[in-house]
Structures are given as C-alpha cells and as structure tokens.
Amino acid sequence: METLETPIRFELEGWALFMAELQVASEGLNQLPELRDSVTERVRQTRRMETLSSDPTVAGLRRLFRGAGCDPTRYRPSSEALLRRLLKGAEMPAIHPLVDLNNCRSAELAVPCCVMAEGTFEPPYVLRAGQAGESYDSLRGAFNLEGKPLLVDALGPCDAPISGSQRVKVTADTVRATLVAYLPAEVLTWQEARARLEGLLDEGPVAHLRAAGGR
C-alpha cells in the first residue's frame, strides 16, 4: 500500500483527517450485506441512545462543531445522525460498495466520513469554517455552509461533515474513490482510523486499499 499525500491546511483547531484511496473489489462484494449487518449489530451491542452524547468521540466532535460556529444539536455530525438511525432500528443503507464501506467505517469510529469519486476533486485542501454566502448543492438539497466545518479543495467547497456535496458523489459507475474521515484529534489519530479501515476490509474484502495517509 502506498502512502497518500494529504496536502491539508487546518484553519480549525483540534481536527485530524484520514484519507484513503479505494477501488471496488468485485470478488468480495458478496460479503457486503454481511459486513453491513455485522457493523449494525456491533453498534447496537456497544452503544445506547441515552448515553450517546457522552461518548468521548461524539462529545469531542460536538466541541469541534461549536468551535467552527455550528450548533451540533441542530446540524448533527453525519456520523451521529447515522448512529441514531441505527439505534432506532433502521438498517445500514445499501447504496454502493464504497459508500456502504464508508458508512460502516463512520458507524464503527463514530466520526463523519465522506467518499469522493475519483476525478471530482483536486488538492490541496483546507479545513475551515464556511463563510458568509457560501453554499453548495448537497446530497439533501441546497445547503448553507456558513459557520459549518467545511473541507475545501482547489475547486471550492467539496464536503461538510454534515451533508455531502453533489459534486463529488459516487455514482453507479464509480470504481475508485477517496474516503475521508474527520477526527477529533484528542480522541482519535489518523493511524487508528487506518487500522480500523484495514480491519473492516479484512472482515469484508469489498475494496482494495490502494493508498492511505493523514494529518
């Protein structure tokens, strides 16, 4: 596995980022339903709705959101929203192998993760708060980015750890993509995030890990 260069400037304090380049492994896709089910079951065995907000990772992310000027109870980190859905009885969604793997990783680590299709983004990156007047077409519609944690590439805003961007989304034809994990540095290192991704791929080899890195 190669080391992935991650040219990132942090304008927000307390964050770390992990990035990984992945390619769909068609030979392992028959194990994807079992991986989704296994991760969902582990979430329900190890987490409770009534104590979720006091989890160190969830609490750490909430502090980081507030530091960017974002109320995490109004605009929840995508990972917390996913965990809450799973704990209420929803199933892990089946969308695309790389998106499903990304959701599994997000649920396991309790951190927001996104997946950006190859060819839709351009380094370098900046992690900063959204500015007045900034918005993008998110996966849920028009989304105001002001005062929210925001990943920006050379082309402009490309992801927020609340709702992803249509610009970088995976399609049915996507074979390669970059996965990004937003980490509270006081709780998780990017090396720990890489190890957990490798563990998931050992459990369900649905993708080939081509390169990884972080800051």
pLDDT in tens, 156-199: 999 999 999 999 999 999 999 999 999 999 999 999 999 999 99
For the chain, what's the residue count?
A: 215
Residue 147 pLDDT > 90, yes or no?
Answer: yes
Predicted pLDDT at 5: 86
Calculate the average pLDDT of the chain: 97
CA distance linking residue 88 with residue 43, whole number of Å? 11
Strands (E), the chain: 2-3, 8-10, 15-24, 113-117, 125-129, 135-138, 141-144, 149-153, 156-159, 176-184, 207-214
How would you list the strands of the sheet with 2-3, edge to edge?
A: 2-3, 207-214, 15-24, 176-184, 113-117
Residue 146 pLDDT > 80, yes or no?
Answer: yes
Chain centroid to CA 25: 20
In angstroms, the Cα distances linking 107 to 68, 78, 96 are 23, 10, 16
- Looking at residues 63-73, what average pLDDT do you find? 97
Domain count, the chain: 1
Chain centroid to CA 159: 10
- Looking at residues 141-154, what average pLDDT do you find? 97
Give the whole-number percent of the chain exceeding pLDDT 90: 97
Q: Which two tokens stand for residue 108?
A: 């396991």
Predicted pLDDT at 157: 98
CB 184 within 8 A of CB 64: yes
Predicted pLDDT at 24: 98
- How many other CB atoms sit within 10 Å of the CB of residue 101? 27
In angstroms, the Cα distances linking 4 to 140, 201, 213 are 30, 18, 5
In angstroms, the Cα distances linking 57 to 109, 135, 168, 189 are 8, 27, 26, 12
Predicted pLDDT at 67: 96
Band (pLDDT 50/70/90 cuts) for residue 84 is very high
CATH of the domain at 34: 3.50.40.10
Predicted pLDDT at 2: 87
Residue 1 pLDDT > 90, yes or no?
Answer: no
Nearest-Å Rg of the Cα atoms of the chain is 16
Domain containing 59 equals: 2-214
